[in-house]
Amino acid sequence: MFNQAVTFRELHVPGTPFILANAWDIGSARMLAAMGAKALATSSAAHAFTLGVPDMGQVPRDVALAHASDLVAATPLPVSGDLENGYGHDPASVAETVTLAAKAGLTGCCIEDTMLPSDSPYDFAQAVERIEAGAAAAKAADGDFVLTARADGVMLGHYDLDEAIRRLKAFEEAGADVLYAPMPADMDALHSICRALEKPVNALCAGRFTQYRLADFARIGVARISLGSALARATHKIIHEAGEAMFGVGDMSRLGQVVGSDIIDPMLTRFMDRA
């Protein structure tokens, strides 16, 4: 169980990473909390999947924040919101999104430098301005609010590691609390990011990074490991494989691999009586 005397901010210790578990509904939030998660986060992609739409700016802000509020109410754990680009291109939109996120009960959020619905990055100056506005709103919020600034251009193929680090350093200077460049080339590149920054670094554990253990991320100075949409995608992979077998050749055997209600039910009910 999460010790509520420990704040979300205090969990971020470089070299002692915690897992920020991305949930996509109340059930997954309660399961992750019951299994030992210290904090939860939304995932824009995983949430979009539940609505039957693709990621990349398809879910409106009010819908995303209502979903986040559901996760906040589901367990006693702190929840950070994956709030895409802040639902607007101008700095004022980012500031408003951060303010609304705090009012929704979130203890933090993540803002990326991608010009959604395009996957192109904002130019450097605009990207920094947007984080400055978000950081000011985070500091003005009631209660402590942890702002994470993302540089997505490496993952999306628009700029290199040097540019990602340049942006992250500027975001750090602009007041972001946590820095995040998803999916750099390898652990050496991730290590370079950690070495270049003073504030905590978030790493995405997906794709090639799933071969590493918590201790490997700790060794290079990571403070937080998020899962993104990985668990949601794993769930959909099971649905796809079972569905292909059932509807294709009438093979029902994959249903026998599902975890029973004797395990899941206690997890789902553990936090139902939250005060």
Q: What is the pTM of this model?
A: 0.91
Percent pLDDT > 90 in the chain is 84
CB 182 within 8 A of CB 226: no
pLDDT tens digit sequence for 195-215: 999 999 999 999 999 999 999
Position 1 scores a pLDDT of 45
| Fold classification of 9-230 (topology level) | TIM Barrel (3.20.20)
- As given in the structure block, the two tokens for residue 237 are 């992979």
143 pLDDT more than 50: yes
Average pLDDT, the chain: 93
**What is 1-18 written as a DSSP string?**
---TTS-TGGG--TTS-E
What integer is the mean pLDDT of 236-265? Answer: 85
Find, among 266, 191, 192, the residue nearest to 33 by Cα.
266
What integer is the mean pLDDT of 26-36? Answer: 94
237 residue type, one letter: K
